[in-house]
Amino acid sequence: MRIAALALLIPAAVAAASCGKKGPPLPPLRSNPEAVERVGSRQVGDMIILSFPRPKARTDGTPLGPDTEIELLMVAREPAPRRVLEIEQHADVTWSIPRAEWDAYRQGDRMEVGLSLARISAGLKLPEGAPSLKGRKLSFLLQVVEGARKRSAPSEIETLTVCDPPGPPSGVVEVMEDGLRLTWSSADPADGSRFNVYRQDAGGSFPAEPLPPALQTGTTYLDATAVIGKAYRYVIRSAQVGGRCESADSPALTATRVDHFPPAAPEGLAAVAESGAIRLFWRPNREPDLHGYRVYRSELGGEEWKLLTPEEITATSFTDRDVSPGVVYSYAVTALDGAVPPNESGRSEPAVETAEAGK
């Protein structure tokens, strides 16, 4: 039977291993760096931006050594090469990025490497410089090299056609009640450009992805996600349809979202006299940052309003028990938001009532 035969083979293999015979030595296993995948490219002004995941490990999962480099190979020829070997053996320009410099290109888990068209044209020794690159196809290949002998498999070929980018727009930023609003104008309104807005947090860097929506056709943008009290820096780029060709950055726009917008005055205030007290009611405000209310009182004919609630209240009712029978009182209510210090609305329409004697 097959199972029995298999059982007989096992001790035979053990017996063979126990004898003094030795076969030829096996070559040592080589663990090379993992290949770079998902390489992307785009043009921003006069810069070609290559984007790819930050290399982290070898094929066996162990971390890369400190002597690791990223090697970028480029060819500029027509037709664009389809085989990796064409670039590996006939690269027009090669760049290397030592591991010690990787953090300078870090964008989250990816790296963004900028290559100026002037630098590329110098590497190609083009007599007319960067302008002669317009319309040419540039093909890139990436490999991770560790030490003198360990080399990753090559990435897939990434090809980009050099464009004639639109001019950068110019704009302003305003603090609005519901966010920070950017307004801009195109350098050439007739070119049909779309626009991308990029936001940089204080102390951070501009991300690779624009604020949504990307490639918008309008010339205004409301950043409702800006946090109150936080400073932001924005740039706007004109972009051609497809998003791989953008202008250089607009002049930077800097703003801090500050809440100096008070809530609306409360509405529907009513006063009802009870035994030894006057009870007030009003409709609730609907602002999302509403924090509470203040109640004011004046005696009829008086111009001075007295604050009855030094500590703001959250209810939409209040009972004034400090009243004298027969005295006519006028009441008003204001709303406050959660800003520090809070913004206070104007006073509501007053409600007038005469206090009754207690029972």
pLDDT at 1: 32
pTM given for the model: 0.75
pLDDT at 359: 63
Closest of 101, 99, 88, 103 to residue 140, by C-alpha: 88
**How far is the C-alpha of 5 from the C-alpha of 17, rounded, in Å?**
19
Q: Is 324 exposed, middle or buried (0-12, 13-18, 19+ CB in 10 A)?
A: exposed
**How far is the C-alpha of 256 from the C-alpha of 106, rounded, in Å?**
26
Q: Which domains does the chain have, with CATH numbers?
A: 40-161 (2.60.40.10), 170-256 (2.60.40.10), 270-354 (2.60.40.10)
pLDDT at 255: 95
The string of DSSP codes covering 249-303 is PPPPEEEE-----PPPPP---EEEEEBTEEEEE-PPP--TTEEEEEEEEEETT--
Peptide bond just before 33 cis, omega within 30 deg: no
Q: Give the list of residues 6+ apart from residue 141 with CB closer than 8 angstroms, or none.
A: 72, 73, 74, 84, 87, 88, 91, 154, 155, 157, 158
pLDDT at 192: 78
Q: Helix or strand or coil: residue 74? A: strand
pLDDT at 14: 31
**How far is the C-alpha of 343 from the C-alpha of 335, rounded, in Å?**
8
Q: What is the signed CA dihedral for 174, 180, 181, 185, rounded to 10 degrees? A: 80
pLDDT at 140: 97
Q: What is the pLDDT along the chain (359 residues), one digit of tens a residue?
A: 333 332 322 233 333 333 444 556 555 556 899 999 999 999 999 999 999 999 999 999 999 999 999 999 999 988 999 999 999 999 999 999 999 999 999 988 899 999 999 999 999 999 899 999 999 999 999 999 999 889 999 999 999 999 999 999 999 999 998 899 999 999 887 677 899 999 998 667 788 899 999 999 999 999 999 998 899 999 999 998 788 999 999 999 999 999 999 999 999 999 999 999 999 999 999 998 899 999 999 987 677 999 999 999 999 999 999 999 999 999 999 999 988 899 999 999 999 999 998 66
pLDDT at 325: 94
**How far is the C-alpha of 62 from the C-alpha of 109, rounded, in Å?**
18
Quickly list H helices, the chain: 2-18, 84-90, 117-124
pLDDT at 190: 66
The string of DSSP codes covering 215-230 is SB-SSEEEETTPPTT-
